[in-house]
Chain A
Amino acid sequence: MRLLTNKIFLALSVLSALIGLAFLGWILITLFIKGLSSFHFSLFLDDLIEGGLRNLIIGQFILAGIASLIGIPLGMAAGIYLQEYGRGRYASLIRDLSDIMMSAPSIVIGAFVYAVVVIPTGGTSGFAGAIALAIMMLPVVINTTDNMLSLVPRELREAGISLGASKYRVIIDIIIKAAKVGIMTGILLAFARIIGETAPLLFTSETSNYFSLDLSESFPSLTVSIYDLANEPEESSRDLAWAASFILTALVLVINLVGRFITRNKH
């Protein structure tokens, strides 16, 4: 009886793993079949208005790129504070709040940026979208930097200080270098996360059918356009949405795998 219970339990556990894998397989196969059947290389050359995705892909990269330019330095600086300077209550409060912020609903961050950027500036803009994504990214970068710096051995810090280097030199030249790989991986994963975000962009950057580099106007976004296209009645729009989803997912998964690969090679 005991052995039978054990067998049933183990079988159920294996079954759960198979269910999980089946969902992953189902989604990926769907994307592959639907996405590939409407995939052309001309999608990379034409803008949405001409039936392509060029402006959307470039736009999404620009939004995520600017968000990174804002989020990475701020996040790293904050992570450095938590690990190297901060002591006591304040640092642990910030650490806790950053943890909470990481799980805050992305649509709420969109609403926040809508209230503080979109309404005062009179309309949706690429800049508002990038700010929303930067807020999404910030706590992830803080968390990674904080964790990775905590792995750097004390002796390295002491060695640097005893050589007469000032603290910030030690941090920049020794500690960050030692934790570089881990931090880069974390940043890569954070980038993969924000490039696939839709909700914070819906009413901040919106999207645009045209190619644009003007961040003060509504800005082309791949994810927001997928949402719009998928809800259109025409078959052709939905096919385009599938092709776009395929490209987006491939991109996100490749970045994730690269991130994992870097860490594995180094450790």
Chain B
Amino acid sequence: MEKIFQKLSLSSASLVFIILIGIFFTLFNASKPAIDEYGFDFITNPDWNKEVALDSSLSTASDEIEDDMIMDEDEVMFDEDDMEMKTIFGGLVPIVGTLLTTLIALVFALPIAMGIAVFLAEIAPKNISHIVGIAIELLAAIPSIIFGMWGLYYFAPIVADIVGGYQVSLLTAGLVLGVMILPFMAAITRDSMNTTPSVLKESAYALGATKFEVIKDIIFPYSKVGIIGSIILALGRALGETMAVAFLIGSIFVLPSAINDPTISIPVAMANNFGEASGLGESALFYLALILFVISFGVISIAKFYFLKKVK
């Protein structure tokens, strides 16, 4: 019995390992056709679902792939001149869209989150800090789809009135994403700040330092590593967020030329196209998923193991 129990708990723990490895290999395997077809050019190619004439010199090289594709009528079309056409998929637009919305969210959320964290950790009296803390955590608990709907119908029109341009755009998507990561960032930054030993703070106050000076010269330097970790962790969250962005980004595969142009991000490209895609299109979506998984895995690992481990 003892043995069985121990084995069960060991295998449950190993499940984490198996699932993560499984995710990586499944995504890799499913994106294999797209990786074989486009290689790393996928990342720099801005065209998604675009028909191009098949270059004759290339056609011999990719005969095999062509045969597969003829099965799927959407993928290969012949026009009147009997010129062979193929549909190509490039990931540049959603990759850029993901990075830019995350950047906007970060720029917007960072100062406010720091302010909230300082307020909760240092300024507010205990009971107020407790209540505001709960409120901020509730904001974090609201499902992301709610942020999306609220953002589209109430927040975006106001932003568009002020800035001009479309209601669905990089900017509005980034800002709503910022509102969404705000509480998360504030809560973990507060926790980092709270690790500052009170002896340090008290000595500074005793020397006549103002609250601002204590925060700037004692708390920030002390908890700097943890705060940076918190920011990167919030960034990891923002990269993979789907629903809040899906309502607001406009979902078109066009590179934005201005901050208030619509575009698309990786999660949104997946959310909107997965059901309908087949063949290379589906494989290209898996390729995007793989890129997103690798980026967020990297970002989260850096945050957790480089920065936040030091705090512990």
Contacts and interface: CB of A to CB of B under 8 A. Distances in A.
Interface string A107-118: 111111011100
A112 B23 contact: yes
A105 B293 contact: yes
Contact of B146 (A31, A112, A167): A31
A81 B8 CA distance: 9
Interface in B131-170: 132, 134-139, 141-150, 152, 154
B302 to A, nearest CB: 11
A104 B296 contact: yes
Nearest to A259: B141
B141 A94 contact: no
Interface stretch (A42-50, A153-161, A195-203): A195-203
B229 to A, nearest CB: 12
Interface stretch (A1-9, A61-69, A177-185, A209-217): A1-9
Contact of B271 (A74, A107, A193): A107
A223 B143 contact: yes
A37 interface: no
A36 to B, nearest CB: 15
A23 B13 contact: no
B145 A223 contact: yes
Contacts of B88: none
B252 interface: no
Interface in A13-61: 13-17, 19-21, 23-24, 26-27, 30-31
Given A78-B13, A97-B16, A13 B150 contact: no
Contacts of A101: 16, 19-20
A6 B147 contact: no
Contacts of B16: 78, 94, 97-98, 101, 138-139, 142
Contacts of A81: 6, 9-10, 12-13
A150 interface: no
B144 A103 contact: no
B236 interface: yes
Q: How large is the interface on B (under 10, 10 to 19, 20 to 34, 35 or more residues)?
A: 35 or more
Contacts of B135: 20-21, 24
B237 interface: yes
A78 B17 contact: no
Interface string A73-108: 111011011101110000101101111110111111
Given A13-B119, A85-B10, A23 B267 contact: no
A91 B12 CA distance: 12
B143 A5 contact: no
Q: Which 4 residue pairs spanning A and B have beta carbons closest together?
A: A16-B115, A105-B240, A196-B143, A77-B12
Interface of B: 1-2, 5-6, 8-10, 12-17, 19-20, 22-23, 26-27, 29-30, 111-116, 118-120, 123-124, 132, 134-139, 141-150, 152, 154, 179, 182-183, 186, 210-213, 215, 233, 236-237, 239-243, 246-247, 267, 270-271, 274-275, 285-286, 289, 292-293, 296-297, 300-301, 304-305
5 contacts: A94-B13, A105-B292, A111-B27, A112-B22, A199-B267
